[in-house]
Homo-oligomer: A and B are copies of this chain.
Amino acid sequence: MIIGAVEAGGTKFVCGIGNEEGVIQERVSFPTERPEETLAQVIDYFRDKQVESIGVGTFGPINIDPLSPLYGYVTTTPKPGWGNYPFLPELKKVFDIPFGWDTDVNAAALGEATWGAAKGLDSCLYYTIGTGVGVGVYAEGKLVHGLVHPEGGHVLTRRHPDDTYEGFCPYHGDCLEGMAAGPALEGRWKVKGSELQPDHPAWAMEAFYIGQAITSAVLLMSPKKVILGGGVMHQMHLFPMIREEVKKNLNGYISAQALLEGMDDYIVPPGLGDNAGLSGSLALALRAL
């Protein structure tokens, strides 16, 4: 079985093919331009591949309500040309096969639940912490959509007592994304996060915000695994610091082994590494069949 996957990011697109075991056999990537040019490249790539379905995990916000006439559209993005663009309908014009369609983070959550760190579990949260913060939500064996789709990067957090940075989110100022995404590290410390040493106080503050958001998410949703990906989380020394924050915040309230002694195996990096995105789209394609 050959299935197709598109990881549609704001700066680059990755297209690939793989099989039902999650093995990616081939991939190409190209910069994200205006939608017409970008989709022409996607279509060219898949034209002779004989794929049985294609999964698209994409930047957003997008319409994922199958009953809406705007299903498959990118909605309000400021990205030139992509606002109200019929992304999925354009692909469907060319390929008469089943399509999976979801946010990039929901796709990554599904990929991790299918082949990665949450394999075999019926729930997980997938955070990507990079230039922004996004959260994919998988619960009771399903990707959570709801009214629009999860936007958990923008939850409100308490301010660290030593932090005077105002936050860069144009909507909420000091929400999680505004305080903990890559640009917040740079805005607060005046150097790129990747240049800050592991013992720099920046990281304790970073763990404070991320740990706090995870605490509230764990309380609200009780996920079986929390997976943290994205550029900022390449700083592996953040993991033990975040686990410690969550443990401290929960303070033993939830008596579950995973949250008491099993934290090292509860808050983890993506099992699929940097393939989480493309593998997630592959999982969407598989589910569409």
Q: A155 — which chain B residues lie within 8 A by C-beta?
A: 215-216, 219-220
* Listed residue (A171, A212, A220, A255) with the most chain B CB atoms within 10 angstroms of its CB: A220
Tell me whether B146 and A139 are in contact (CB under 8 A).
yes
Q: A219 — which chain B residues lie within 8 A by C-beta?
A: 150-155
The answer for the CA separation of A233 and B79 in the assembled complex, in Å, is 42
A131 interfacial by beta-carbon distance below 8 Å: no
A247 interfacial by beta-carbon distance below 8 Å: no
Q: A258 — which chain B residues lie within 8 A by C-beta?
A: 147
One digit per residue, 1 when the CB lies within 8 angstroms of any chain B CB and 0 when it does not, for chain A 204-223 equals 00000000100111111111
Tally of chain A residues near chain B (CB < 8 A): 49
Tell me whether B222 and A151 are in contact (CB under 8 A).
yes
A94 interfacial by beta-carbon distance below 8 Å: no
Q: A151 — which chain B residues lie within 8 A by C-beta?
A: 219-220, 222, 253-254
Q: Is chain A's interface secondary structure helix, strand, loop, or mixed overall?
A: loop
A141 CB, nearest partner CB in chain B, Å: 8
A50 interfacial by beta-carbon distance below 8 Å: no
Tell me whether B222 and A221 are in contact (CB under 8 A).
no
A23 interfacial by beta-carbon distance below 8 Å: no
Interfacial residues of chain A within 53-101, with CB under 8 A of chain B in the complex: 61, 75-76
Tell me whether B215 and A152 are in contact (CB under 8 A).
no
A10 CB, nearest partner CB in chain B, Å: 17
What would 27 A/B residue contacts be, using CB atoms closer than 8 Å? Answer: A61-B254, A123-B144, A137-B221, A139-B139, A139-B140, A139-B142, A139-B144, A139-B146, A140-B142, A144-B221, A146-B221, A146-B224, A147-B218, A147-B222, A147-B224, A147-B254, A147-B259, A148-B256, A149-B222, A152-B221, A155-B220, A156-B157, A156-B158, A156-B216, A158-B159, A216-B216, A220-B220
